[in-house]
Amino acid sequence: MNDKDRRSMPLFGIGIVMKLTELTARQIRYYEENDLIHPERTKGNQRLFSFNDVDRLLEIKNYLDKGLNLAGIKLLLTDEDSNVEKTEEKEKALPKEKKSVLTDKELRAILRQEITEANRFGKANLRQGELARFFVNR
Amino acid sequence: MNDKDRRSMPLFGIGIVMKLTELTARQIRYYEENDLIHPERTKGNQRLFSFNDVDRLLEIKNYLDKGLNLAGIKLLLTDEDSNVEKTEEKEKALPKEKKSVLTDKELRAILRQEITEANRFGKANLRQGELARFFVNR
DNA sequence: ACCGGATGTTAGGAAACTTAACATATACCA
DNA sequence: TGGTATATGTTAAGTTTCCTAACATCCGGT
């Protein structure tokens, strides 16, 4: 089993994730509803989160603090560390007509720029992989 | 927060621990009943296990496979990585009259010897800190 | 002034967990 | 051989945690 597997292994119940991220259950579920995270489920349909999921939630929280909305964050969070099936869902969520002016790529670039900007003033923020850094010796 | 804290942080419900250790809930609870582990509890009294707890359970399982009984394992598992209050409980569990022939130290040495012996024939076994090695980059 | 996005709150039900009691298998010992 | 202790299984009844769905609220932008 490699590192990637370990980090995507479903381990945590929502209660623990609430404490780790300081998000409410409502928030966590809402982010899932908006395809920002995709935790596993137990046989009985209860959410089970991986390290990656928790990291991702911390990122989301971080970006929200900076004033981004979920749509922007969704674009920003690339799929490299998520389990989402590539383009399919994304196309559904953002039909062509709505984003005709900018391509995905362009928008993403702009957003990244904004965040970089914001970072200059931002408080001491959590960064990507914070949870991992929390638990993993490096 | 240091490594020790991380490893003793209560994170896992019993369901996940069952999968991670391949022990039944009954077994896990029985080991707790016998003071081999001391998981935290939620407000609502449900068990929450740390990395250390899970590691310890894997050790217990390992020793059981080698034919040791819980009393022996309890002696063997030193307190360095547990949360037990030092001598107190131990004295209660093994009153002087019962172990008059051997001191704790001697018994522990003998047991260690036995385990070392057993190891020569043992199958590929989990070792101490296995779970940590599982999740932590080293 | 309204609307949509994000979150809070509540209700009803299902899943997961709790302790306690009793059952079973196995090993050891008189 | 029967008795006893250890380790684990099984079951029951109760509690906690989580689920979805609906509706409420707050707030920033138009």
**Cα first-last separation, chain A:** 19
CA distance B7 to B15: 19
pLDDT tens-place string over residues B113-127: 555 544 433 333 444
Range of the domain at A45: 3-133
Closest Cβ opposite residue B6 in set A6, A15, A134: A134
Residues 31-50 (A) with a CB less than 8 A from some CB of B = 42, 48
Total structural domains within chain A: 1
What is the four-CA torsion angle of B98, B100, B101, B106, rounded to 10 degrees? 90
Q: Which nucleotide is at minimal CA–C1' distance from A43?
A: C15
Would you call A11 and B6 a contact, using CB atoms and an 8 Å cutoff? no
Site from B135, B136, B138 to mutate, A interface, most A CB atoms within 10 angstroms:
B135
Would you call A15 and B138 a contact, using CB atoms and an 8 Å cutoff? no
CATH, residue A91: 1.10.1660.10
Would you call A1 and B136 a contact, using CB atoms and an 8 Å cutoff? no
**Within a domain: A138:** no
- Chain B CB contacts of A1 under 8 Å are 134
Supply the pLDDT for residue A45: 98
CA distance B12 to A138: 23
Do residues B28 and B21 lie in contact, with contact meaning Cβ atoms separated by under 8 Å? yes
Supply the pLDDT for residue B5: 87
- Chain B CB contacts of A48 under 8 Å are 16
pLDDT tens-place string over residues B13-71: 999 999 999 999 999 999 999 999 999 999 999 999 999 999 999 999 999 999 999 99
